[in-house]
Amino acid sequence: MGVFEMSFRFRAAEEATRYVHQIADLVSRETGLTTAQLTEMRKASVFMMKPVDMSSQIDLDVSLIGYQGAQATPKILWRRVAGTSVTFPLEESEGMGLTNEAVIRVGVRYVYHSILSELFGGGTMTVERSAYARPRVERLVSLDGATDDGGTVKYFDAG
């Protein structure tokens, strides 16, 4: 693998990191979202990660994590996934909020394919990134009209 290919791989990792933070920021600005809006954010990845070739190689996993009880125990209030879920231990969100507050957690998995790698026998590269953001206006961001739907993973069409 040459320097040229390494620079493309580095760029792909940078773009995935930037994308996950942008999505977390966009979701945190809203007081309420719909699954259709998340689909549009997923579709925007093609433009948000330029010049990296996107096609359909990105998984998007968005959750609202609320803090409940005297110990502010984290609980997934809602979760939507386009593609394959990007797993994470819920414990990593401990201490990020107080009782009756919430954080947005966004996970991204991007599979980078390169023409150069394919021509010269290199493999693909998988980049996983996550970002957390605090809602800006309301303490809880609703999705499809509810702030808590039990937290089960619900898949949506990635478009």
Question: Between residues 112 and 93, which one has the greater pLDDT?
Answer: 93
Q: Are 15 and 49 in contact (CB under 8 A)?
A: yes
Dihedral of the alpha carbons of 3, 21, 113, 35, in degrees to the nearest 10: -170
Among 128, 135, 74, residue whose Cα is nearest residue 104: 135
The first and second tokens of residue 140, run together, are: 């809880």
| pLDDT tens by residue, 15-65 | 888 889 999 999 999 999 999 999 988 888 767 766 666 555 789 999 999
Among 122, 128, 75, 67, residue whose Cα is nearest residue 98: 67
Q: What is the mean pLDDT of residues 75-90?
A: 94
The pLDDT value recorded for residue 116 is: 63
Q: What is the mean pLDDT of residues 80-109?
A: 94
| pLDDT tens by residue, 102-154 | 999 999 998 877 666 666 666 777 889 999 999 987 778 899 998 999 888 99
For the chain, what is the mean pLDDT? Answer: 85
56-65, 68-77, 79-88: least confident range:
56-65
